[in-house]
Structure 1
Amino acid sequence: MNHAHPHPHPVHADADAGGQAEILDLDAEVLAEQLAALTEWLPLRSTPRRIVDLGCGTGAGAFALLDRFPEARVTAVDSSAAHLQRLREKVCARGAEDRVQIVQADLDADRWPDLGTPDLVWASASMHHVAHPDRALRAVRELLAPGGLFAVVELSGFPRFLPPDAPEDRPGLEDRCHAASERFHASHVSHRGADWGPKLTAAGFTVEGERTLTVHIDGARNPAVGTYAMTSLQRLRHSVADALAPQDLAALDRLLDPGSLLTRADLAVRTERTVWAARRPG
């Protein structure tokens, strides 16, 4: 997903892997339709048979790609042993052991393990965590088969769940939480919110498409939205608690009482995801 960032697929092991994994799984459940749309959009020249998912987290992208390309095999790469164990359990539950190879690796390492020669590399909410993205992008270019495609998916930031005038006792609370979160992450995740197009071009790729998907999912239509909102806002509280005014922190704690948040009829998931499709010339 999800963390220095709310929904990361981390490149570094995370002490909070359990909570992060829960958000990644909820993100995959709530946004499954949008994720499938992104895989459908990819400007592929032919059906990929060998796919690498960099920063795979608990497997949202890997499984979306397996569903989209039934003949493909996926190599799923992440630094978190806990996330990879959860992914391994899902692979076994699906009976997909022959289609998924799991590799634990740090994308900031000087040398990556042998990941084969994929036709498609997928990196969702992972590249902004890399300390040296230019080096990582060049490594992906060398990894890909000539003519292969690299899909970089990034989030616009932390999702929003409440209307602007909520909660009633502190209207605009979510906006102020987001502002505090952005200040926190500006010094911790320097490539968050970057325009990956120029970076991909500089690394030797040909950018063939960019698409931003606007997401709005009404909580009344999807019961998982409430749990997703609760888990996400609890995580947001952890990163912004020291930066909020005492009245805002108290209001956030009142909101996070399950009897408050989970009974609201106005919850929704509002966010954006942008995908860049870049080809290795050849």
Structure 2
Amino acid sequence: MSNDERPAPGHGPHDTAQIDWEVFGPLLERGAELHLPLYEQAAAWLRQLLVKAAVAGDQGVERVLDVGSGPGVVSCLLAQAFPTAEVVAVDASAALLERAHARAGRLGLGDRVRTHLAELPDGLDALGGADLIWSARTLHHVGDQRAAVAALGAHLRPGGLLAVSEGGLTPRFLPRDIGIGRPGLQSRLDAACEDWFVEMRAALPGAVDDTEDWPAFLADAGLRTPRTRSFLLDLPAPLTEDARAYLQDHLTQGLDLYGDRLDEDDRTTLARLADPDDAVGIVRRPDAFLLSAQTVHTARAQQ
């Protein structure tokens, strides 16, 4: 599991255990780097919340857990945002943690960013406590999300902050009419992805059919002063080469995951968009853009 950008628009792969992270890791890291402006906004907000708490008499931020860290892009960002803290990148993939370790070394953060191999919610007991726990786009891969929030909350030190990034707005990257196929493809892709996501959630071990009320999950974990904010990534057309390559990866994964839910015309259009050699493919389109939002829910442990 990884909090860096997922391959399918809006959601992640069905069975993360079957993914070759040696191959997929570089793509995941590239996507997370593309979204750094969004994560920088979120980190600045968390720092503001924690600095205010420190002024009010709470402990400073000495230890941060990034649960579902992937290749460590956000782990390193958190180390930069909290320059006196130890940051632990936690993930179930050894290959992704190797990338996190290497990234921290390249950025001169190797003495403060370490890695821990663990699956959520199992395997967290050895982590100990933290002043800040960050988990993004990871908990929706756990069958019982409410229990997963409680498990993370249990690792907060007194006054510590849990930040869960789940939800937001599905990425937009195409105009309504792209000149091929029926207009409105983006909306139909979103609908197919949502149907796939419902089935993915239902098939998870220990899946619980629970309303996704993240502030309620935080409150049920005994945490207080909930706050929620959304952060925007707005990359207008024309996109950079890296951004277009990211969208090509996105569309290719979408074709694999839920292409069979589309009609023949939309499948053909999606395949053309994902084809780097097609003149109307996403990597060649001057009208492609990227607009998305991620929502972060926070709450604090009792003193």
TM-score (norm 2): 0.84
* 2:289 counterpart (268, 272, 275): 268
Are 1:154 and 2:158 counterparts? no
Are 1:180 and 2:195 counterparts? no
* Matching residue of 2:94: 81
Q: Distance in 2 between matches of 1:192 and 1:35?
A: 28
Are 1:166 and 2:173 counterparts? no
Q: Please state whether the residue corresponding to 2:171 is helix, strand or coil.
A: coil
Alignment of 1:66-77 (within 5 A): 66-77=79-90
Q: Which ranges of structure 2 fall in alignment gaps of 5 or more residues?
A: 55-59, 203-208
For the Cα contact (< 8 Å) 1:119–1:144, is it kept in 2? yes
**Residue 214 of structure 1, CA deviation:** 3.2
Q: Please state whether the residue corresponding to 2:176 is helix, strand or coil.
A: coil
Instruction: Give the letter aligned to residue 179 of structure 1.
Output: A
Alignment of 1:169-208 (within 5 A): 169-189=181-201, 194-208=212-226
**Residue 116 of structure 1, CA deviation:** 2.4
Q: Distance in 1 between matches of 2:148 and 2:140?
A: 11
* Matching residue of 1:122: 134
Q: Distance in 2 between matches of 1:9 and 1:89?
A: 24
Q: Please state whether the residue corresponding to 1:229 is helix, strand or coil.
A: helix
Q: Distance in 2 between matches of 1:23 and 1:195?
A: 31
For the Cα contact (< 8 Å) 1:52–1:122, is it kept in 2? yes
Change (3 A) 1:267 1:5: closer
Quick check: 224-233 or 11-20, which moved more?
Answer: 11-20
Are 1:54 and 2:58 counterparts? no
Query: Residue by residue, what CA displacement relative to the aligned partner does 1:224-275 show, whole Å, maximum 9, x if unpaired?
Result: 2211111111111111121111111111112222242222111111211101
Q: Please state whether the residue corresponding to 2:129 is helix, strand or coil.
A: coil
Q: Please state whether the residue corresponding to 2:228 is helix, strand or coil.
A: strand
Alignment of 1:35-50 (within 5 A): 35-42=39-46, 43-44=49-50, 45-46=53-54, 47-50=60-63
Instruction: Give the letter aligned to residue 274 of structure 1.
Output: T
Q: Distance in 2 between matches of 1:70 and 1:275?
A: 22
Percent identity between matched residues is 31
Instruction: Give the letter aligned to residue 191 of structure 2.
Output: A
Number of positions where the alignment pairs a residue of Structure 1 with one of Structure 2? 281
Change (3 A) 1:143 1:64: same
* Matching residue of 2:300: 279
Q: Please state whether the residue corresponding to 1:216 is helix, strand or coil.
A: strand
Change (3 A) 1:49 1:133: same
* 2:227 counterpart (209, 224, 235): 209
Q: Which ranges of structure 1 fall in alignment gaps of 5 or more residues?
A: none
Query: Residue by residue, what CA displacement relative to the aligned partner does 1:124-164 show, whole Å, maximum 9, x if unpaired?
Result: 11111122222222222221110000011124364221111
**Residue 167 of structure 1, CA deviation:** 4.2
For the Cα contact (< 8 Å) 2:215–2:226, is it kept in 1? no
Change (3 A) 1:219 1:81: farther
Query: Residue by residue, what CA displacement relative to the aligned partner does 1:16-65 show, whole Å, maximum 9, x if unpaired?
Result: 42564344323222221111110111211234120001111111220110
Alignment of 1:227-266 (within 5 A): 227-258=245-276, 259-260=279-280, 261-266=282-287
Bigger helix share: 2
Instruction: Give the letter aligned to residue 233 of structure 1.
Output: L
What is the alpha-carbon root mean square deviation over aligned residues?
2.5
For the Cα contact (< 8 Å) 1:5–1:189, is it kept in 2? no
**Residue 206 of structure 1, CA deviation:** 0.9
Change (3 A) 1:195 1:166: farther
* Matching residue of 1:144: 156
Q: Distance in 1 between matches of 2:149 and 2:14?
A: 16
Q: Distance in 2 between matches of 1:26 and 1:219?
A: 19
Alignment of 1:21-36 (within 5 A): 21-36=25-40
For the Cα contact (< 8 Å) 1:10–1:126, is it kept in 2? no
Change (3 A) 1:264 1:4: closer
Q: Distance in 1 between matches of 2:228 and 2:95?
A: 32
Q: Distance in 2 between matches of 1:87 and 1:193?
A: 33
